[in-house]
Amino acid sequence: MLNIFARASVSRVTDPIGAALVRAGLTPNAMTVLGTAGAVACALAFFPQGMLLWGTFTVWGFAMLDLLDGAMARARGYGTPFGAVLDATCDRLVDGALFAAIAWWCFVQDHNNRAAAAALICLVLAQVISYVKARAEASGLEADGGLVERAERLIIALVGTGLHGLGVPYTVEITLWLLAVLSVITLLQRAAAVASAARAAAAKQADSSAGGAQP
């Protein structure tokens, strides 16, 4: 949802940076891999050790590099199918590493099994929500939208860890359960969108078949 409303504003900032990086000889795929490697490494290094502020700001910083690969592709004038697959794959890696690291912190450092369960639920739902979209598009259907897409997941999760790192109690657990509920709603929204698109495609195919059968 945030992607729809913020894309134009964000592009005005990232497009000049993307153009400069392309002129410097970097490629969108290199930026995707760099951002992913940094975010995964920082999530796994800082959160399990209880360094929530370091984890929050470094993961967020590397995740922001994900905005630049699209800007670089636009500056270059084209994207590639491999780049799209790489980007989606790397997004799933970052989501998995982030929520796994937060779950580890909840289990080992905070001794909060409820929050850890919420983190694992968020991890699974993040992967499934993205898979529904990918599988639908592979079948020629649409499953965009929903309350929480990747940007919202990162914001909600990292706001919780950041506030807890600043000394505000219970924010990790609260934000994780909030994200879990919103993710369930998003999954249902995408499933409904796929069902609607499938019905529309079937009706269109039936109309085409009926039209072709007329003398």
Give the residue numbers annotated as catalytic, written as ranges: 91
> Is 110 annotated in some ligand binding site?
no
Q: Could you tell me how far CA 185 lies from the centroid of its own chain?
A: 16
> Is 69 annotated in some ligand binding site?
yes
> Is 66 annotated in some ligand binding site?
yes
CA 179, CA 125: separation in Å to the nearest integer? 10
CA 42, CA 116: separation in Å to the nearest integer? 19
> Is 95 annotated in some ligand binding site?
no
> Is 32 annotated in some ligand binding site?
yes
Interhelix angle 113-138/171-213, nearest 10 degrees:
20
Sign of CA dihedral 195, 199, 204, 208: positive
> Is 207 annotated in some ligand binding site?
no
> Is 31 annotated in some ligand binding site?
yes
Q: Are the C-beta atoms of residues 67 and 113 closer than 8 Å to each other?
A: no
Sign of CA dihedral 148, 154, 158, 159: negative
> Is 80 annotated in some ligand binding site?
yes
Binding-site residues for Mg(2+): 66, 69, 87, 91
Binding-site residues: 29-32, 66, 69-70, 74, 80, 87, 91
